[in-house]
Amino acid sequence: MDKSIVVKNLKVENQHNPLGIDIRSPRFSWMIETEQNNVLQSAYHLIVTEEDGEEVWNTGKIDSDQSIWIPYKGPSLTARKCYLWKVRIWDNTGQISDWGRASWEMGLLDEDDWHAFWIEPEQEEAVEEPFITVQEMFLRGLKDKSLDEKAKDLRPPQLLRKKFAISGDIKKARLYVTSHGVYQLELNGSRVGNNEFAPDFTAYNVRLQYQTYDVTDLLASGNNAIGAVIADGWYIGRIQLTGHSCQFGNKLGLLMQLEIEYKDGTTERIVSDKQFVSSPGPWQYADLFIGEKYDANLEQSDWSCFDFNDQNWKTVKQVDYSLDNLVAQFGPNVRVMEELVPLSIHSETDGSQIIDFGQIIAGRIRIAIEAKNGDIITLQHSEVLDKDGKFFMNIIGRNKDQTDIYIARGSGTETYEPKFVFHGFRYVRVTGLIASIKKDAVRAIVLYSDMETTGHFECSDHRLNKLQHNIQWSQKTNMLSIPTDCPQRERAGWTGDLQVFAPTAAFNMDVYLFLERWLGDVRNEQFADGQIANFVPTGKYYVKECASMGQLSSAGWGDAIIIVPWVLYERYGDVRVLEQNYEAMAKWLQYVQHKAETEIPDSMTETDPTVLERQKYLWNTGFHFGDWLIPSIVESADENTGPMDSAILTKELVATCFYANSALLFAKIAELLGDKETAHTYYTLNKRIRKAFEEEYVDVNGRISAHFQGIYILALQMDMVSSKKRLLVAAQLAQLIKDNDHKLDTGFLSVPYLMDVLCTEGYEDIAYRLLYQTDCPSWLYEVDMGATTIWESWSAIKKDGTVGHMSFNHYAFGCIGDWLYREPGGIKHSSPGYKHSIIAPNVNVGMKSAKAVLKTGYGILSSAWERNNDFIKLEVNVPPNTTATVILNGENRVEVGSGFHHFQYESPAVLKAKA
């Protein structure tokens, strides 16, 4: 008989049948599929067995509606073992599903599980770039060296190989690998897996991930050979704002353990050791920032096959590095996710050809070439053309070349795709190629961490759809291994950028494990006094770099340790992320509290005890990025004004707002985790900070001393003013926006709340005008100027077409995406993970229709509405095992269960586009 409820999409640690995990208590999730409405789970039964059927853990029937993130609570799991699991559920009408089945396999769990040795090929130690400060990098006098000059300091990636013989019928074979640098593997001439830039970017000294590959089908009884190529990657190569090198080490290394299980039950192990030999390959160098130089004449075919003659290869060194930083891969690997066809290709007068892919991406190209032996083909990457349509390198600074060089073999068609680099680009300038490039001969290879797309937003305004497209692309291309600010200039895990963008990110893609992994490093790199780094992973120059700022962290950046876990908890419903980060949150807040309580601004001459007393609650000292990049300040005609002024003019108030906000969030988290006393302490602290803020900074007319839009927004959003002043403060904000010709003037930290604050304070009309604004700065200005991603600066291309040396791919200002999904889209979580949601589309922001779709942990949640004369037609889909409150017209509440629901209601007054 067909069951009407089915359990499917079984996941362990949010992955289907994962291999090589080292989480001792993995979390189980499943979805329920049914044609019926109003389905809730009332109980589940989960059984874990070994492969031979022996039972490991049997929950029995558990009365529970929990179907996501159920932790394993059976006996200790064994390294390398494969576990089978099955689950069935009961619904609210007593129906029982069939068993759904899946598996997972544990990886190596302890240092003792490793029998391999770290090996290093013969190599010159990498050159450490001299330390320069951020200020020095942007000084006009600081000349970046030529590519030829730089090449002298760059070293080739290394090939390593080992031959081995095995005999017997193979049941399964697993390869556990990691490296100092980034690696790719081959077994008997075939590529192993499809990971790019493994082992990913982590705080390597604390945590280096190993990857597990199923290589059963790549081995054969008899002679075999394994090969690895290792390049500098993040470990050794140039990274971060100043393009420095050797931040984690200066020598390439490999650690590898192949474990074979034969059908007769015996096992065999092949490990990295002195039997490996090494040789440079066709790459003359490969640096993530500078680019790759590849000489096809130096290829050694079949180098990873048994019969290859490796007589001239060098022996490797076995080195005794500690294995205590090894952990299993956690979360997604980087992969080739998409390929793009060129939009156009044209030649410039100097003979170079410019390929336009029509979209800014992070990745590289694959190009089929016909050339003469020794021809040198150069590929330069850029995000924009200049005003006259000429090639323009928009990124400046040390080592930001983004240039790949290919030396041709000269035999027929040869295909080149760099392996160990990625660039941020839309345009590629090809020089050295005489034949004209055909569109079919090139592809842009889009690289990012392999995460599922979970969200979709569209509406009747095609420009807003383009904005959504741009936000999604800035997300994809800035989530390559770590969440970065931009994929070309810095490629650093700036905590503030992610903090503002996390809610949007969690709509667009399943970022849960990706961000959980990164948060692990935010914790790992927390300083002893509780400070949280401005970007993570940091590297050995971090402390030196911060020296000129006098501290290692900034308000609104460090607060990511509280805000990001909270967002993840709300959107994905897993309490573990709060538990894991709890201690780090507490330490961060203690640091802030200590600063607030013990320091007063140098300029303070006050003697009034009440004024002095409230200083304890104001975080008004030290350097902070403040409401970073306020447009009117960045754009100021005054030559002496620059980006740092938005920091200086707003930092005190921003810091105090974030202090209050983090205290409140932490109090909620403490309460949730059962720590009532702490919760009470921080609720009280939050109140005191808010009171002190109002007394210190807000006058009787609701004017705040730092009179910027962003400060009003933060004050309102974070409840920094008492109810009696709220209206006045909101009116000040409204006036500021009106005086600015209905244009925003918000920086990084306040922009996420701009639309929400205006809508809740009764200024929907202003919010609406900002949304449709097309003068700079505005979201649609960028769209009108042809943006395909979100820019770092709203005016990166001026009205007259002048192009700035800016990043054209910074997701921070794309944080409006969250509002689009929640307000016109209409979907909001109201309990963690969308177990209960609120569907309340705001139909009053100038659209004829809008639709938001989100794949939650329970299934598809969606809301689609359309204006039909005087009526709104609304279609809602609520996933099984969840419920929703649908709010029609802002007031009528309808409680619904899972399934499709249709509504029709009278439309409210309409705001017409005035833009």
Alpha-carbon distances of 731 from 3, 257, 532, 728, rounded to whole Å:
59, 66, 35, 5
Write the CA distances from 839 to 677, 886, 894, 904, integer angstroms. 35, 5, 10, 14
Q: Binding mask 536-575 vs ligand RAM (x if CB under 6 A, - otherwise)?
A: ----------------------------------------
Smallest gap from residue 551 Cβ to ligand RAM (A): 14
Among 494, 542, 619, 834, binds ligand RAM (CB under 6 A): 494
Containing 234, the helix (H) or strand (E) segment is: helix 233-236
Residue 142 vs 604, nearer CB to ligand RAM = 142
Q: Which of 91, 186, 292, 485 binds ligand RAM (CB under 6 A)?
A: 485
Q: Is 792 assigned a catalytic role?
A: yes
Q: Please, which residue, 490 or 818, has the CB nearer to ligand RAM?
A: 490
CB 810 → ligand RAM: shortest distance, Å? Answer: 6
Torsion angle, alpha carbons of 328, 334, 335, 338, to 10: 150
Task: Give the DSSP H/E element, type plus range, for residue 100.
Answer: strand 100-105
What sign does the dihedral 824-826-831-833 (CA atoms) show? negative
Backbone angles phi, psi at 728, to 5 degrees: -65, -40
Distance, in Å, from the CA atom of 775 to the CA atom of 741, rounded to the nearest integer, reads 9
Site string for ligand RAM, 77-96 (x = CB under 6 A): --------------------
- CB of 651 or CB of 855, closer to ligand RAM: 651
Instruction: Please tell me the count of residues contacting ligand RAM according to CB under 6 A.
Output: 10
Q: Is 557 helix (H, G, I), strand (E, B) or coil?
A: coil
Least spacing, CB of residue 862 vs ligand RAM, in Å: 33
Two tokens at 247?
A: 């931040």
Q: Binding to ligand RAM by residue 625, rule CB under 6 A?
A: yes
Structure tokens at 814: 């794309």
| Minimum distance, C-beta of residue 534 to ligand RAM, in the bound complex (Å) | 7
Return the range that interacts with ligand RAM (CB under 6 A); candidates 156-164, 488-496, 655-663, 900-908.
488-496
Cβ burial, residue 465 (10 Å; 0-12/13-18/19+): middle
DSSP state of 622: S
Rounded distance between C-alpha atoms, residue 548 and residue 316, angstroms: 42
- Identify whether 490 is a catalytic site residue: yes
Cβ 134 to ligand RAM shortest distance, Å: 8
Min dist. Cβ of residue 486 to ligand RAM (A): 6
479-480/55-63 β-pairing: unpaired
Which lies closer to ligand RAM via its Cβ, residue 100 or residue 817? 817
Footprint (CB under 6 A) of ligand RAM, residues 801-820: 810
Please identify, using beta-carbon distances, which residue of 534 and 844 lies nearer to ligand RAM: 534
Judged by CB, which is closer to ligand RAM: 134, or 600?
134
> Which range, of 301-309, 491-499, 700-708, 883-891, touches ligand RAM by CB under 6 A?
491-499
Residue 59 vs 789, nearer CB to ligand RAM: 789
Do 863 and 874 contact (CB within 8 A), yes or no? Answer: yes
User: DSSP secondary structure string, 43-83?
Assistant: EEEEEEEETTS-EEEEEEEEE----S-EEP-SSPPPTT-EE
Which of 458, 490, 516, 545 is an active site residue?
490
Stretch that binds ligand RAM, among 381-389, 417-425, 492-500, 837-845 (CB under 6 A): 492-500
Q: Which is nearer to ligand RAM, 549 or 611 (CB)?
A: 549
- Tell me how far, at minimum, the Cβ of 244 lies from ligand RAM, in Å: 15
- Whether the bond between 537 and the residue before it is cis, its omega within 30 degrees of 0, is yes
Q: Name the phi and psi angles at 685, rounded to 5.
A: -60, -45
Q: What is the number of other CB atoms lying within 10 angstroms of the CB of residue 231?
A: 28
Residue 91 or 485: the one with the smaller Cβ distance to ligand RAM is 485
Name the segment binding ligand RAM (CB under 6 A); options: 482-490, 578-586, 756-764, 781-789: 482-490
Stretch that binds ligand RAM, among 372-380, 396-404, 493-501, 668-676 (CB under 6 A): 493-501
Q: Which of 196, 525, 792, 823 is catalytic?
A: 792
Contacts of 859 (CB under 8 A, 6+ apart): 31, 32, 33, 879, 880, 882
DSSP string of 561-590, one letter each residue = HHHHHHHHHHHH--THHHHHHHHHHHHHHH
Distance CA 189, CA 878 (A): 49
**What backbone torsions phi and psi does residue 161 show, to the nearest 5 degrees?**
-150, 160
- Least distance between ligand RAM and beta carbon 389 (Å): 27
The phi, psi pair for 324, rounded to 5°, reads -75, -5
Using CB under 6 A as the binding rule, the residues of this chain from 811 to 870 that contact ligand RAM are none
Minimal distance in Å, beta carbon 346 to ligand RAM?
A: 31
What the block records as the tokens of 797 is: 């291309």
What token pair was written down for 321?
Answer: 């590095």
Whole-number minimum distance, CB 817 to ligand RAM, in Å? 17
> CB-wise, 497 or 694, nearer to ligand RAM?
497
Separation CA 193–CA 186 (nearest Å): 9
- In order of 47, 643, 866, 880, 893, the CA distances from 903 in angstroms are 42, 49, 11, 19, 12
Given the structure tokens 């590898």, which residue do they identify? 256
| CB neighbours of residue 513 within 10 Å | 18
Considering only residues 212 through 271, tell me which ones interact with ligand RAM, judged by CB under 6 A. Answer: 241
DSSP 676: H
Given the complex with ligand RAM, which of 496 and 859 has the nearer CB atom? 496
Q: Which is nearer to ligand RAM, 535 or 768 (CB)?
A: 535
Check if the beta carbon of residue 624 is closer than 8 Å to that of residue 655: yes
Cα separation of 719 and 661, whole Å? 9
- Cβ proximity to ligand RAM, 810 vs 822, nearer residue: 810
Three-class SS of 778-840:
CHHHHHHCCCCCCCCCCCCECCCCCECCCCCCCCHHHHHHHHHHHCCCCEEECCHHHCEEEEC
Q: Taking the complex as a whole, how short is the minimal distance between the CB of residue 194 and ligand RAM, in angstroms?
A: 30
Stretch that binds ligand RAM, among 46-54, 427-435, 483-491, 815-823 (CB under 6 A): 483-491
Least distance (Å) between residue 733 CB and ligand RAM = 24
Give which of 130, 139, 404, 123 is closest to 245, Cα–Cα: 130
Least Å distance, CB 339 to ligand RAM, is: 28
Choose one: 291-299, 304-312, 400-408, 494-502; the region binding ligand RAM (CB under 6 A): 494-502
Q: Which residues bind ligand RAM (CB under 6 A)?
A: 241, 485-486, 490, 494, 496-497, 625, 628, 810
For the annotated catalytic residues, the residue numbers are 490, 792
